[in-house]
Structure 1
Amino acid sequence: MINPAKLEEIAKQITNNMPQGVKNLADTLEGKTKQAIQNKLAEMDFVTREEFDIQSQVLIRTREKLTELESKVASLEQQLNSAQNKPVE
């Protein structure tokens, strides 16, 4: 396998031997490419990992509350059915 440090050294040598106009063009192209990628990523409306984790925790708590409320509703329905089925004295 090729040593990454050696590849970096070769890349630097090539860059150092390029004419200044080509270096400027490469820098400009790199900057514009980065800007275009950043703009497209911003348009995609991604969330950070932290925001995702926070929303995941909110969802877990919401599911727990929903389960608890479903249980309470079932209990109340059972009480209501029992009260309706009792004979009136």
Structure 2
Amino acid sequence: MLPNELFNTLAAQLTQAIPGASGAAKMAQEEIHNNIKVILSSALNKLELVTREEFDAQTEVLHRSREMIEALEKRVSDLEQKDA
């Protein structure tokens, strides 16, 4: 999931388009800001995004798996050449 700072930044940018004068307008703007954050959070959660750390960990696992497969393929190839 994306950090809270990103939600706050996006929501702030969206609510800047709403003109605010005083008192009630300012409260309405804050309420809209909070609603935008909730909507953004919900929408992004539905995307099932992964963190950078999770992505990097899976990339490393994939890299190690590829190395193991290449080593096993070489070993099989060597054994096949021995038998031939």
Query: Which TM-score applies when normalising by structure 2?
Result: 0.72
Secondary structure of the 1:60 match is helix
% of aligned pairs identical? 33
Following superposition, the deviation at residue 20 of structure 1 comes to: 1.2
Amino acid at match of 2:82: Q
1:37 aligns with 2:43: no
1:23 aligns with 2:39: no
Any unmatched runs of 5+ in structure 2?
1-18
Counterparts of 1:80 and 1:38 in 2: how far apart (Å)?
Answer: 60
Any unmatched runs of 5+ in structure 1?
1-13, 82-89
Structure 1 residue aligned with 2:64, among 61, 65, 68?
61
Query: Which TM-score applies when normalising by structure 1?
Result: 0.68
RMSD value over aligned CA atoms?
A: 1.8
Regions of 4+ moved over 4 Å: none
Higher RCO (C-alpha under 8 Å, 6+ residues apart):
2
Flag the structure with larger Rg: 1
Output one character per residue of 1:32-87: Cα deviation in whole Å (capped at 9) or x when no partner.
00110111111111111111111111111001101000001111111222xxxxxx
Tell me the matched-pair count: 67
